[in-house]
């Protein structure tokens, strides 16, 4: 039981380890392509993104016990209904967050870096590109949590591993060579897009196994 519990929580372990590694890599790339202003802009974006993504994380963690209950009780119809409703809710929230981020980019940048016009302009530009991640991040977060709730820790960890390490590190190393600094801001967007494609492949492929 202890081994199974540790395995089932491996996706959360992977996400936390990857966060530190990816942040260091982002800072390295930004120092190379932009300089100190790039690192400062990235810091602002991360603070704001933590607030936005907390909504997805909170929902995914909150709904997980309900998902686990219906799965364990064999309530297949309820499990399927819960999955479909959750995906629709995440989709609506994703669009709403994207719209809000585009509208609030200027005011939020003003709060953090209003003292420097050049830095503020860079931060607004970067945030409006990076904010595209909100279209996909919610699905990636929910999918990983969904499989954890089904006690499928391996699939959950694989989704987290691909998202946090493989895809994002690959993108942040490659895209700047093609798109310059804008490639850095787009790295998380494409990483989450690829993660969502993988996650949906798992959801479709495992629907008969878990009866949702």
Range from 11-25, 41-55, 174-188 carrying the lowest mean pLDDT: 11-25
Give the model's pLDDT for residue 3: 55
Burial class (CB in 10 A: 0-12, 13-18, 19+), 83: buried
Mean pLDDT across the stretch 154-170? 92
* Cβ 49 vs Cβ 41: under 8 Å: no
**Domain spans, the chain:** 2-210
Other beta carbons within 10 angstroms of residue 169's beta carbon come to 17
Chain mean pLDDT for the chain: 92
**150 in helix, strand or coil?**
coil
pLDDT, tens only, 173-187: 999 999 999 999 999
- Mean pLDDT of all residues in 52-79: 96
Task: At 112, list the tokens.
Answer: 């953090």
pLDDT of residue 209: 95
When pLDDT is averaged across residues 164-179 and rounded to a whole number, the result is 94
pTM: 0.90
Which of 31, 52, 18 is CA-nearest to residue 184?
31
Instruction: Tell me if 94 sits within 8 A of 135, measured CB to CB.
Output: yes
Nearest Cα residue to 136 out of 49, 205, 72 = 49
Sign (positive or negative) of CA dihedral 69, 70, 71, 73: positive
pLDDT in tens, 97-138: 999 999 999 999 999 999 999 999 999 999 999 999 999 999
Rounded to the nearest 10 degrees, what angle do helices 181-205 and 168-179 cross at?
140
């Amino acid at each position: 039981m202890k081994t199974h519990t540790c395995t089932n929580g491996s996706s959360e372990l992977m996400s936390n380890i990857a966060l530190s590694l990816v942040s260091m890599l982002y800072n390295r790339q930004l120092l190379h392509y932009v300089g100190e202003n790039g690192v400062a802009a990235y810091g602002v974006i991360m603070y704001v993104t933590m607030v936005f993504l907390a909504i997805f994380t909170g929902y995914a963690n909150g709904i997980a016990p309900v998902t686990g209950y219906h799965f364990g009780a064999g309530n297949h119809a309820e499990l399927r209904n819960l999955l479909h409703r959750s995906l629709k809710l995440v989709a609506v929230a994703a669009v709403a967050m994207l719209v809000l981020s585009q509208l609030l980019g200027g005011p939020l940048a003003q709060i953090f870096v209003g003292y420097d016009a050049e830095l503020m302009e860079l931060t607004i530009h970067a945030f409006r590109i990076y904010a595209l991640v909100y279209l996909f991040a919610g699905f990636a977060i929910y999918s990983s949590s969904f499989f954890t709730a089904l006690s499928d820790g391996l699939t959950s960890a694989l989704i987290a591993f691909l998202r946090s390490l493989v895809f994002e590190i690959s993108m942040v190393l490659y895209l700047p060579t093609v798109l310059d600094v804008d490639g850095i801001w787009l790295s998380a967007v494409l990483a989450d897009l690829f993660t969502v494609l993988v996650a949906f492949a798992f959801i479709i492929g495992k629907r008969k196994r878990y009866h949702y």
